[in-house]
Structure 1
Amino acid sequence: MIKKNTIYVLSVTVSLWFSFFIPSVYSVELDEATRTVTLDSSKKTTILTPEQVKRGKRLFNNSCAQCHNGGITKTNPNIGLELESLSLATPARDNILNLVDYMKQPTSYDGQNSIAELHPSIKSAEIFPKMKNLTDEDLFSIAGYILLQPTVAQEKWGGGKIYY
């Protein structure tokens, strides 16, 4: 008869073996073409580093995903974070620099009114403390992550109620 302790030790050993010797199967690295996103309104591009992608994901999940899980907008499901919605905003938010500007000072979809008291931003960090310590580099990584997702998650990103 095998003791419970032996089964526990065996299962921990197997788990550790998998985590040390098979991590590459689970951590697929995105190639440069996939990590290339639009930088500014002139359509210049930039290649995100793997570290920027990881950082952007972590920061997005910590600061934005409560309302934008999967690229949707819980407060307005008609406007998500997919490229089409971002490009139709005024000004267009389909590039890193404009998304960073938006995260600093958010405006309504038509660009006419400030919504800093409603949407987390650097401008309203006293209301939304998660935004308080975000640097420009952090915002750049978050914006890059948002723009990368339509390529990685495809139709699920911004798919709204169908997926999330």
Structure 2
Amino acid sequence: MLTKKISATLFSLLLYHYFSSTVYAVELEESTRTLPLDASGKTIVFTPEQVKRGKRLFNSTCASCHTGGITKTNPNVGLDPEALSLASPPRDNIDSLIDYMKDPTSFDGTESIAEVHPSIKSADIFPKMRNLSDDDLFSIAGHILLQPKIAAEKWGGGKIYY
């Protein structure tokens, strides 16, 4: 009898934790889902479906090196808003992130890094990039720009959090 009560209590706690600590795309307000589209200042509102798709694609394609918005190969450069805005050219909007995922350059923009960073240009080297469409890249870029609004300083926080 005691085992059943303990099991029921644990199950209830797990359910509470699951539903209270997870942010679902449909729960995100429109203002949170509004993201910078291009360098001119235009914005776009992501749908809950695009948010979910972006998360799924990011996790399956990018998260092995960018868990939590860090960059495992160079912890000094993350996917946080400050680092993205300081890159040359800035990568702090959807269009510029898509350009980067198609043909990546060094942080200062002076040289191609397509041979060492997964991209559409280097899809022959990085098989995960072969089947990504422009819509997929759009969703991934949206995920990258949405995470600082959800995870705040934890996104791109590096060793402090991960």
Tell me which interval the TM-score lies in, with the shorter structure as reference length: 0.7 to 0.9
Matched with 1:99 is 97
1:128 to 113, 126, 129: 126
Query: Structure 2 length normalisation: TM-score?
Result: 0.86
Q: Distance in 2 between matches of 1:48 and 1:118?
A: 30
Q: Percent identity?
A: 69
Matching residue's letter, 2:109 = G
Report Cα offsets for 1:102-122 as digits up to 9, x if no partner: 000000001110000000000
Matching residue's letter, 1:95? N
* CA offset digits 1:18-63 (Å, max 9, x no partner): 7xxxx97656411100000100001111000111110000000000
Q: Which deviations, in whole Å up to 9, do the C-alpha atoms of 1:64-119 show, x marking residues without a partner?
A: 00000000000111110000000000110000000000000000001110000000
Q: Paired residue for 1:74, among 68, 72, 75?
A: 72
Q: What amino acid is aligned across from residue 111 of structure 1 in structure 2?
A: G
| Unaligned residue ranges in structure 2 (runs of 5+) | none
Change (3 A) 1:112 1:27: closer
Instruction: Give the match for residue 138 of structure 1.
Output: 136
Q: How many residues align?
A: 153
Map of 1:150 onto structure 2: 148
CA distance in 1, matches of 2:23, 2:101: 29
Structure 1, unmatched stretches of 5+, are 2-6
Distance 1:122 1:51 in 2: 23
Letter in 2 for 1:142: I
C-alpha RMSD of matched pairs (Å): 2.3
Per the normalisation by structure 1, the TM-score is: 0.85
